Amino acid sequence: MAQVLDDAGVSAALAGLDGWTVTDGALVRTVQFPDFPAAIGGVAAVAATAEELNHHPDIDIRWRSVTFRCVTHSAGGITDLDVTLALAIDGIAGEVSAV
């Protein structure tokens, strides 16, 4: 099982992430895409990466605004898996022309 990061580990991870915060014990970022098709394309790209990592974010889609929540539910907190997934989401958001 993945190890939950302590506060210092989470703070260090946040320093390397673009626009992420910690909310209710999860890494959270909302990405504004140019339009709805771009938002769905971004979600599809994140889904493919999540499958490769076998680690899946919670995703909330509101028109062109997509909120990603990364937390390892089975471990009860934020782990390195969540940081890895958040970094991947940062890369995908940039590739899909987030505004």
In which element (H, E) is residue 58 found? strand 58-62
Q: Is residue 22 part of a domain?
A: yes
Mean pLDDT of the chain: 94
- Model confidence band, residue 25 (pLDDT cutoffs 50, 70, 90): very high
Q: What is the pLDDT of residue 96?
A: 72
pTM: 0.93
- Model confidence band, residue 95 (pLDDT cutoffs 50, 70, 90): confident
CATH code of residue 11: 3.30.1360.20
The single-letter DSSP state of residue 72 is B
Q: Read off the pLDDT of residues 36-77 as tens digits, 9 standing for 90 and up.
A: 999 999 999 999 999 999 999 999 999 999 999 999 999 999
The number of distinct structural domains making up the chain is 1
| Nearest by Cα to 4 from 20, 21, 37, 27 | 27
Q: Is residue 2 part of a domain?
A: no
- Model confidence band, residue 97 (pLDDT cutoffs 50, 70, 90): low
Q: Note down the domain range covering 13.
A: 7-95
